[in-house]
Chains A and B, each alone.
Chain A
Amino acid sequence: MQIPHLLTIVTIGPAVAAGVLGLIPGRYERLHRWLALLASVVLFVVSLFLWTGFNPDVAGFQLVDGPIAWIPQLGINYTLGMDGISLLLVLLTTLLIPVVILASWTSISERVKGFHISLLLLTTGMIGAFLALDLFLFYVFWELMLIPMYFIIGIWGGARRIYAAVKFFIYTMVGSVFMLVAILYLGFFHHQLTGVWSFAYADFLKTAPQLAMGSSILHSPQLLVFLAFALAFAIKVPMFPFHTWLPDAHVEAPTGGSIILAGVLLKLGTYGFLRFNRALFPAAWEACVPLILILAVIGILYGAWVAMVQPDMKKLVAYSSVSHLGFVMLGLAAGTIASTQGAVLQMVNHGLSTGALFLLVGVIYERRHTRLIADYGGIAKVVPIYTGLFLLVTLSSIGLPGLNGFVGEFLILAGSWEKYPAVVVLGALGIIFGAVYMLWMVQRVFWSPFAHEENRDLKDINLREVLAVLPLLVFIVWIGVHPTTFLSPMEAAVRLLLAR
């Protein structure tokens, strides 16, 4: 079945739902929760039509909506399109939104209306950024994510939420303003070459690679434009050394905010590298691969080491994100088909596993109002179901064969081996460290001697929370057992992208 304007419906739908919520007075809190949940579930169901309407044999963009003239004077069009890569990331997004709403069901008890409106607007921003095929449009969606996330951290966050929210906002904006100048320059360059004003991705694919590569950075427009884009995305990923906003944002954000942040927002950075830096500036990419590899490896190892010494579970998971995203960057930089596919799959995996980890940390935080590992210990007997789920997600995160994390990491490392064996060896160390810090945390929280009497009456995970985490677990196992389902749709797109 083909639904016309399906991409627009998926993109703008959440914003419309946010508008509807806006009209309902804030005192009907339950109504807001239920309506938001309904909207997000409907969105997920509708987004499944993306999957059914998608033809895996076609490499280019599908279900293209537009171009519709938006600002014709400047050659700016509204164009949405999807290939196998964005398909997976959009589905990840629509899967996570109901999870977030369920996870926030009781933990968000104030300003319920505002939270759900922010979340739905954020959804529009994220999906739009994955689907936009016009760089002006992309930039608008990209920045649109800032405002709701700023509110989510700043209003519903923890003790140091203001600091974290402002840091998040300013950091992201630092990257994106330079990207804006780069986009303007690409438009100008396209006009110089062709005499036509355009900001279309398809047009830039033709003209941007022709930007000159000079001998030094300052005389090389392609390298400068590349770096402007790279800065924006590197901050978002975040790559070492641009990662310092992430632990603050994660620790202070409410559980739902952390899930979205880790699950989707960070992926926009790696997606941007692949979609824009890799495809538009092949020569500059080639020149920068060593740098990206070095930063990726530093990120993998540094993230793992810092995670190891964290006393706070949420902060530990946050630093593990730095490490995991390092793997994704490694796979992208290695640039073979297997490593790139692995990187894209690992984006999804990380969204699922880390999203689930944040959710589960949030579950126990809601009961005890502490996330310190030292405040727990030996609670496996008290909360057996919770322990089992937590262990499963942990194993997925450290890459146990049969679960999703293994497939992604294996593809990345195997794909990179032929080109950069030394890097792979260092990266593989990161997997070992990953197992160490995650399992050590699990051991201290669940199996070490029972230490605190307050934990005696800890309630086990309830039905709502299980329902929230269940969709994630389904995909964690599915990807682990049968990754082809998810690898085959993106294969053609990845091949096309790498062939440029």
Chain B
Amino acid sequence: MPTSTDLLALLPELILILSAGIFLLLEAFVPSSRRNIPLLTMVSAALACWARVALPLPGSSFSGMVRIDRVSAFVDVYILAAVLLTAWMAGPFLRRTKTEGGEFYSLLLLAASGAMIMASSTDLLALFLGLELLSIPLYVLNAYFRKTEIGLEAGLKYFVVGAFAAGFVAFGIALLYGAAGSTNMEVIGRTILHGEGSTPLLVVGLAMFVGGMAFKLALVPFHGWAPDVYQGSPTPVTAFLSVVPKGAALVVLLRLAANLDLFHLTGHWVWAAGIIAVASQTLGNIVAIVQRDVKRMLAYSGIAHMGYAMVGVIVGGSDGSAAVLFYLAAYTFMNMGAFAVIALMSENENEPHLISDMAGQGFKRPVAALALTVCMFSLAGVPPFVGFTAKFLVFRSAVNQGLLALAILGVINSLVSAFYYLRVVYMLYMRPLPKREPAFAKSAMLTATAGVAALAVLLIGLFPSPMIRAAQSAAQLFLR
């Protein structure tokens, strides 16, 4: 039986789930309250965030199924920040596309609580539950524009691929259980430490499990779904999808790498994961160059960014893990800001979001365009924005670990990426306004969302110290 401390440990998740239930009921019985649900969602996210930060971190809970530690706290805070920004974006966006509904926010909160559980689990079964709680609401959200073809395609694609990934993960868990006799990561780690090291069963199990996570991270060669799903999902959902599941999956990998000491377990880990990381960066960046739709471009850019973050996972230890945690938080703000501006773009989601449609918007919608510009430069890794600091930390950890090649390939890749990020800026400021304006809609709310995210990108970039401290103190747990 869960004790009251156990329940208290999951209070933030419970707040989200409870709110999700209430919103569904409100939607059904008090339809007039619909307009206020975005605000209520933000409130409940803020409340959950407060609960996580203010309450003591109990550590291992639910008989070792989850571990609420400083890593969970760090991840939860940025997941909740992402929820907050998504809800902020979704309100005006759904109103403009005339698809308002309370269930949107319920699903959002459920998915977020799944991601939080996933990032906190130390037991693979709890992790699997979290994964499903994250994925199933997302399948619905992807197909939220159910009357458009690309919306349905996005939902179906993410569903089929997600089911595959879940299969991979479940199969991997089964094999790991077979190899170590437990589903608890810490126990598996200890068994390996005292046992014979890497057995075939263990290696195959790990490969399946990591492969399943790579699906969620859209790493090469498991990336095929990303562009279509990004393009077809409602823009706020794309924003959420581009940061939250990826963050949770990366943290799972961090915990796995730390508990099993993957860096030292087998020499294959650095090679295999290194190839995946570099291939993701390279493919993501090169294919992004030829994209005409900005959402598809950001999908490929996301593939590349997870490739950079993987470098930190490979390095592991406290140094690499801190870099990954910082990277996730940085990536959240840059992506949220970019998608908030993209949410201004078209009337319905069946229309493509062409980069060329942004022509001349720089002087027509200065605030939104400036926010997008900041996010683009940050994604390209240009100082003084936070994207640079994040890359700096990741590559620094690689250099310090003697993985100079990963750092060099990484910087060459971020050089390539500058090319397509710059094209957005070029469209915004260096092209005349077309006669027929496909234009950014006028929405103070969405512009404000983008502005806040961009401001965070700039300020954290200029003064990264507090966040680095938080990430480092969380990553102490991964000390080798």
Q: Which residues of A contact B (CB under 8 A)?
A: 26, 69-74, 111, 114, 136, 139-140, 143-144, 146-147, 150-151, 154-155, 161-162, 165-166, 169-170, 173-174, 177-178, 180-181, 184-185, 187-188, 191
Contacts and interface: CB of A to CB of B under 8 A. Distances in A.
Given A114-B429, A180-B411, 13 more contacts: A73-B465, A73-B472, A114-B363, A143-B388, A144-B383, A155-B430, A162-B426, A166-B426, A177-B411, A180-B395, A181-B399, A184-B407, A191-B400
Given A143-B388, A177-B411, A184 B464 contact: no
A154 B408 CA distance: 29
A181 B404 contact: yes
Contacts of B399: 181, 184-185, 188
- Interface majority SS on B: helix, strand, loop or mixed? helix
Q: Which of A70, A166, A178, A184 has the largest count of B CB atoms less than 10 A from its CB? A: A184
A173 B415 contact: yes
Nearest to A140: B383
Q: Which of A161, A162, A177 has the largest count of B CB atoms less than 10 A from its CB? A: A177
A147 B382 CA distance: 9
Contacts of B419: 166, 170
B468 interface: yes
A188 B415 contact: no
A71 B395 contact: no
B426 A71 contact: no
Nearest to B391: A180
Interface of B: 363, 377, 382-384, 388, 392-393, 395-396, 399-400, 404, 407-408, 411-412, 414-415, 418-419, 422, 425-426, 429-430, 464-465, 468-469, 472
Given A166-B426, A181-B404, A72 B465 contact: yes
B383 A170 contact: no
A166 B412 contact: no
A207 B45 CA distance: 49
Contacts of B392: 136, 180, 184
A11 B325 CA distance: 32
A177 B412 CA distance: 7
A181 B384 contact: no
A70 B396 contact: no
Contact of B468 (A73, A111, A139, A181): A73
Contact of A174 (B377, B382, B415, B429): B415
A147 B465 contact: no
B418 A181 contact: no
A171 B141 CA distance: 42
B400 A188 contact: yes
A144 B468 contact: no
A94 B395 CA distance: 35
Contact of B430 (A162, A178, A180): A162
Given A155-B430, A166-B422, A169-B418, A71 B465 contact: yes
A267 B384 CA distance: 22
A154 B373 CA distance: 14
A111 B383 contact: no
B321 to A, nearest CB: 14
Contacts of B412: 177
Nearest to B401: A188
Given A73-B472, A143-B383, A173-B415, A181 B426 contact: no
20 contacts: A74-B396, A74-B468, A111-B363, A140-B388, A143-B382, A143-B383, A144-B384, A147-B382, A154-B430, A155-B430, A162-B426, A165-B426, A165-B430, A170-B419, A173-B415, A181-B404, A184-B395, A184-B399, A184-B407, A188-B399
A150 B408 CA distance: 25
Nearest to B374: A147
Q: Which 7 A-B pairs have the closest CB atoms?
A: A177-B411, A140-B383, A184-B399, A143-B383, A154-B430, A71-B465, A188-B400
A487 B464 CA distance: 41
B396 A184 contact: yes
A295 to B, nearest CB: 23
A73 B318 CA distance: 13
A70 B465 contact: yes
A385 B384 CA distance: 45
Contacts of A144: 383-384
A139 B408 contact: no
Contacts of B422: 150, 166, 169
A144 B382 CA distance: 8
Contacts of A188: 396, 399-400
A178 B411 contact: yes
Contacts of B400: 188, 191
A114 B369 CA distance: 13
